[in-house]
Chains A and B, each alone.
Chain A
Amino acid sequence: MQERIALTGNEAMALALKQINPDVVAAYPITPATEIVQLFSSYAANGMVKTEFVAVESEHSALSAVLGASAAGARALTATSSQGLAYMFEVLYIAASYRLPLVMPVVNRALSGPINIHGDHSDSMGVRDAGWIQIYAEDTQEAYDNLIQAVRIAEDPAVQLPVMVCIDGFIISHALENLEIMADEKVQEFVGPFTPRRPSLLDLDHPVTVGPLALFDYYMEIKRGQAEAMRKAKPVIKEVGQEYGRWSGRKYSFLEPYQLAEAEIAVVVLSSTAGTTRVVVDELRQQGIRAGLLKPRVYRPFPQQEIKAALGHLKAIAVLDRADSFDGFGGPLYKDIRAALYEVPDRPRIINYIFGLGGRDVGLDDIRSVYDDLAQVAAGEAPEFSIRYLGVREEAL
């Protein structure tokens, strides 16, 4: 029997971390992720977990420390946001290339400048090609559920890749919401004991090299191996999502469609704004408008086939990006979705909005305006456009 309680996104992730009970957590505080490791450090100090908690002097060191711990055979985690993730940049690529099954909550926050503490996806989108699996959560329930599943996905023998579990800064991290939680021992049983896939650095009888020099002789094979692991992660993510469903009653996959099968127009959006969009879909359906929603949950590996199957039948699609590429073409999610639909005969028209940068609120009227535009684009009354900014004061530029 699961307990239904109310927690903020950060509290939910701290609780999941406690239930996972990792061997090592190393962390440096940064708003809005601070609470996760602050709460966890008190669990460690109070003996509620067996974890070795390492307070380091920077995010670069935090990720380096969990990287070392993982290579030495420990289940190791950290958490960060924004500038902290940016400061980890070089270590992110190293962790992926060492094939270390690290797990890291990323509380999405805008990158400086100007300095801003609020939620957008510029931080995790900036490292989307670092070789980490990326999973995005809509609410506190998914924050909790995704973090627990991430451990299993990362550590699967076929995968052995680090995973970022992303939630929207403040909107979810600091909002109290209802969620159902599993008992500690159920979570322990689900994640299972940590079994390193190769001898640990400390196993002197079976010496291995971690982090060697590899030039034109082997570098490319190692990179090819990472790409293969990412490909193999797909069935694992699916299986873990289904198994988690049997344990918790909440099943997960790559995508979460809403009213999509019979839809003519749809919005594609990650994370918390998917919830606001769902409310507008219900409104529009009551007016007889065939509107739908697609919320990608997994962004890396990119579920291209699934997206093609989910969206191919539509007349027009609007992709909402909470990060900009500043390339005059469109946001990262838009370009990936657009590319995924290239092979679809008679493919949908597709338009792009950049929204919510630096935590700019996106309300029901904003989403309604997107569906209004979509209806016109679908009817051929308005041109397909590549990029529009939602809720921005163009006159204030």
Chain B
Amino acid sequence: MAAQLLEIRWHGRGGQGAKTAAQLLAEAAAAAGKFIQGFPEYGPERMGAPVQAFTRISDRPIWLHCQITEPGIVVVLDPTLLRRGDITRGLRQEGLILINSDQQPSVIKRALDQNYRVCTVDASRIAKETIGRAIPNTPLLGALIRVAEIIPLERLLAETERKLARRFADRPEIVSGNLVAVRRAYEEVEDG
């Protein structure tokens, strides 16, 4: 099962959309015919507090109903969380870290104790320029599906549009902004 099971842990701060990203990726993978789980860790809910969310994707039905303790991928929505030291906890040796950062992957890599594959994308800047607010979750999704080759870009765009169109029915500019953000991050992600 392990070889076919992709486990992703999302680190963000309350309000940055970690839960939405974890679930949106799961929904997009489900639409592509995969078996999925998407779930947040619910602690005390406070804006700005560190939060985690999780995505599992597999070619087979997923039976596990426990937290992800040994992820293959870690996505960091807020670069200030790097200082906390729990970002790489349990990350597999061949693991991948994708970080919302304006730094080059080599700079981040030097700060980590192990030789993980590090990718960066300036998701906050992209979000500000395209959506008007620094909500980094959808651009990170665009970057993630590229570097981890999870699902095709068009599938993610279609699912993002479907999901956001429901939530922002009266604000179509938010939907279109997010779609541009996904596409730009897909293009701009730096793979170290």
A interface list, Cβ under 8 A from B:
4-6, 117-118, 138-139, 168, 170-172, 174-178, 272-273, 275-276, 278-279, 282, 361-364
Contacts and interface: CB of A to CB of B under 8 A. Distances in A.
Contacts of B62: 177, 275
Q: How large is the interface on B (under 10, 10 to 19, 20 to 34, 35 or more residues)?
A: 20 to 34
B107 interface: no
B30 A171 contact: no
A6 to B, nearest CB: 4
A168 B39 contact: no
B64 A176 contact: no
24 contacts: A4-B30, A6-B26, A6-B27, A6-B38, A118-B42, A139-B65, A170-B39, A171-B65, A176-B26, A176-B37, A177-B62, A178-B30, A273-B65, A275-B62, A275-B63, A275-B64, A275-B65, A276-B65, A276-B66, A278-B63, A282-B1, A361-B66, A363-B67, A364-B64
Nearest to B40: A174
A139 B67 CA distance: 15
B63 A276 contact: yes
B173 to A, nearest CB: 25
B177 to A, nearest CB: 24
B69 A363 contact: yes
Contacts of B40: 174
Contact of A363 (B31, B38, B66): B66
A276 B37 CA distance: 13
Closest 3 CB pairs of A and B: A275-B63, A272-B65, A175-B39
B1 A279 contact: yes
A279 B36 contact: no
Interface string B50-84: 00000000000111111101000000000000000
A118 B40 CA distance: 12
A148 B67 CA distance: 29
Contacts of A118: 42
* Interface hub of B35, B39, B66, B67 (most chain A Cβ within 10 A): B66
B23 interface: yes
Contacts of B38: 6, 175-176
A296 to B, nearest CB: 16
Nearest to B42: A170
A178 B66 contact: no
Contacts of A364: 64, 66
Contacts of A139: 65
Contact of B37 (A5, A117, A177, A362): A177
A361 B54 CA distance: 14
A6 B39 CA distance: 12
A177 B36 contact: yes
A6 B66 contact: no
B42 A178 contact: no
A172 B64 CA distance: 11
Interface string B12-40: 00000000000100110011000111111
A233 B79 CA distance: 57
A90 B134 CA distance: 51
